[in-house]
């Protein structure tokens, strides 16, 4: 085996070793890249770095990220989550498993409007978990529902994963938004069906809300409130998504309108102030820059790994694989799933996906479909311990009586359901490709 390929393998080994002993993820990426890149090429590699890093920060497609994040954080300030949960809780509460379904529906709406996993899970966890426990919900089921609903924001457009994948796979953001819409809704539907089935098979796990409690608010009043809290943000997002998918506006343009509109929505809800604006800008900066930090460090690793011929290594690995391109894709999905236990979606999309890209292109695989598969797959990375953001966020707000094991146990069924959704999408690519084709992308 050539010297450089040995170094490429060593860089992966050192990455996982440093990661395991608890060094920061970004640091392990940068150090493995720098050290083994230097051993392979000397300083030549380093001279390429500034231009690469500058390229990341000056990437036009990625401008949509701070804009959508701004919109999400701002809408979140209108307390849309609290109000929506209140209304949907009342509407769905009568059903066995209804509260769970309510959480999933709120997850779908928040996924489309705010789309920020951390904020969604923290809010849902704070509002609903104590309420569910008071009603004797099965604690792991409650935790799993909240975590899984919170992650829906990653697949339901607009989402940052899709923007980054569009850039990596060379597709338009609008196409991927269109492609992810039905897989996202399908996944949500699968979650809802699971809740309904649970309500029938094991009703004691998911008890309904008592009638007396639900009657504190009249039907008419409830619908009025639903319209008042839900309509403005949902209308805003539909306008934004509609103009992107319909091809009226470029994603970044529509995102800026969405951001501006979110200020209006919050102002309408009477919760706008200068300090809200300041908090929103600061959160936006933190979230965007935090992502960029990982991207920059991932760039260091990716540059070294590719320079060390790591790509050929991956290519050879695929050549050993029996079966055609489908087994290649399955293998890729497997690797992404396993990596999701240890690293974040950003590193996976930025380092791993480009390595597979040549193989996919050589086989004329529909990249739009693959993007939807990857996005759906990456969503599990939020739920898989030890490194699952959703678990971490819920832990930070769950009452002390909820054990970490409760949360772990709770997400297992939802991870399996996500794999079911993935299997559906794998066998029926039309779920993803139909909409982009229908609107003529």
Partner 1 sequence: MQAIKRVADGLDWFIDRVGRITGWCAFALVCVMAFNVLLRYFFRTGSVAMQELEWHLMAPICLLGLSYALLHDGHVKVDILYGRFSYRTQKIIDLISMVLVCFVVGLLMVLSLPYVEQSYSIGEKSPDPGGLENRWILKALLPVGFGLLLIQSIGATLRAFIAVVEPPPPPEALPSPSLGIVPSAPSSASPNAGH
Under rule CB under 8 A, which residues in 74-93 are in contact with partner 1?
Answer: 76
Tokens representing residue 148 in the block: 């899984």
Pattern 39-78, binding to partner 1, x per CB under 8 A?
A: -------xx-xxx-xx-xxxxx-xx--xx--x--x--x--
Q: What is the DSSP string of 33-75?
A: HHHHHHHHHTTHHHHHHHHHHHHHHT-TGGGHHHHHHHHHHHH
Binding of residue 223 to partner 1 (CB under 8 A): no
277-306: contacts with partner 1 (CB under 8 A): 277-294, 296
- 413: which 2 tokens? 């069924």
Closest CA to 97 of 185, 187, 204: 204
**Shortest Å, Cβ 289 to partner 1:** 3
The HSE-up count of residue 63 (CA atoms within 13 Å, CB side) is: 11
Exactly one of 346, 371, 373, 432 binds partner 1 (CB under 8 A); which one? 346
**Would you count residue 113 as binding partner 1 (CB under 8 A)?**
no
Contact flag: residue 388 with partner 1 (CB under 8 A): yes
275/255 Cα distance (integer angstroms): 22
Is position 109 an interface residue for partner 1 (rule: CB under 8 A)?
A: no
Please choose, out of 313-321, 324-332, 342-350, 364-372, the segment that lies near partner 1 by the rule CB under 8 A. Answer: 342-350
Q: Pick the piece of the chain touching partner 1 (CB under 8 A) from 1-9, 19-27, 220-228, 424-432.
A: 19-27
Binding mask 402-421 for partner 1 (x = CB under 8 A): --x--x--------------
Site residue total, partner 1 (CB under 8 A):
86
Q: How many CA atoms lie within 13 A of 254 on its CB side?
A: 22
How many whole angstroms separate alpha carbon 7 and alpha carbon 15?
12
| Residue placing its CB nearer to partner 1 in the complex, 294 or 329 | 294
Largest CA distance in the chain: 74
Within residues 122-181, the interface with partner 1 by CB under 8 A covers 122-123, 154, 160
Question: Least distance (Å) from partner 1 to the CB of residue 222?
Answer: 27
Q: Contact with partner 1 (CB under 8 A): which of 8, 30, 156, 166?
A: 30
């Amino acid at each position: 085996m050539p010297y450089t390929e040995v170094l490429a393998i060593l860089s992966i080994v050192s990455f996982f070793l440093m990661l395991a002993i608890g060094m920061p993820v970004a640091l392990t990426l940068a150090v493995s890249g720098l050290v083994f890149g230097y051993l392979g090429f000397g300083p030549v590699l380093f001279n390429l770095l500034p231009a690469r890093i500058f390229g990341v920060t000056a990437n036009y497609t990625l401008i949509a990220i701070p804009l959508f994040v701004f919109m999400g954080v701002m809408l979140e300030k209108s307390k849309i989550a609290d109000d929506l949960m209140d209304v949907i809780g009342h509407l769905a509460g009568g059903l066995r498993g209804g509260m769970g379904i309510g959480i999933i529906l709120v997850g779908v709406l928040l996924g489309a409007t705010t789309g920020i996993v951390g904020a969604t899970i923290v809010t849902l966890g704070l509002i609903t978990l104590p309420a569910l426990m008071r009603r004797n919900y099965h604690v792991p089921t409650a935790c799993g529902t909240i975590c899984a609903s919170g992650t829906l924001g990653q697949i339901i457009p607009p989402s940052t994963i899709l923007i980054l994948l569009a850039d990596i796979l060379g597709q338009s953001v609008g196409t991927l938004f269109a492609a992810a819409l039905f897989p996202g809704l399908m996944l949500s539907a699968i979650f809802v069906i699971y809740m309904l089935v649970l309500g029938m098979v094991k009703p004691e796990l998911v008890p309904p809300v008592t009638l007396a409690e639900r009657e504190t608010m009249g039907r008419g009043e409830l619908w009025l409130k639903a319209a008042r809290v839900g309509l403005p943000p949902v209308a805003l997002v539909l306008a934004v998504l509609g103009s992107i998918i319909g091809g009226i506006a470029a994603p970044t343009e529509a995102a800026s309108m969405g951001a501006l509109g979110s200020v209006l929505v919050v102002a309408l809800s009477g919760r706008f102030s200068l300090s809200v604006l300041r908090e929103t800008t600061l959160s936006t900066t933190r979230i965007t820059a935090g992502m960029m930090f990982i991207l920059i460090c991932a760039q260091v690793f990716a540059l070294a790994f590719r320079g060390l011929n790591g790509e050929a290594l991956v290519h050879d690995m695929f050549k050993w694989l029996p079966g055609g391109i489908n087994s290649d894709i399955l293998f890729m999905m497997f690797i992404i799933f396993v990596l999701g236990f240890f690293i974040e979606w950003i590193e996976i999309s930025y380092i791993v996906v480009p390595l597979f890209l040549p193989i996919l292109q050589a086989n004329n695989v529909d990249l739009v479909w693959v993007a939807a598969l990857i996005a759906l797959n990456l969503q599990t990375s939020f739920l898989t311990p030890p490194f699952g953001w959703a678990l971490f966020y819920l832990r930070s707000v769950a009452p002390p009586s909820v054990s970490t094991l409760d949360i772990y146990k709770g997400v297992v069924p939802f991870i399996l359901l996500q794999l079911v959704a993935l299997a559906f999408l794998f066998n029926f690519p039309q779920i993803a490709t139909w909409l982009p084709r229908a609107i003529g992308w």
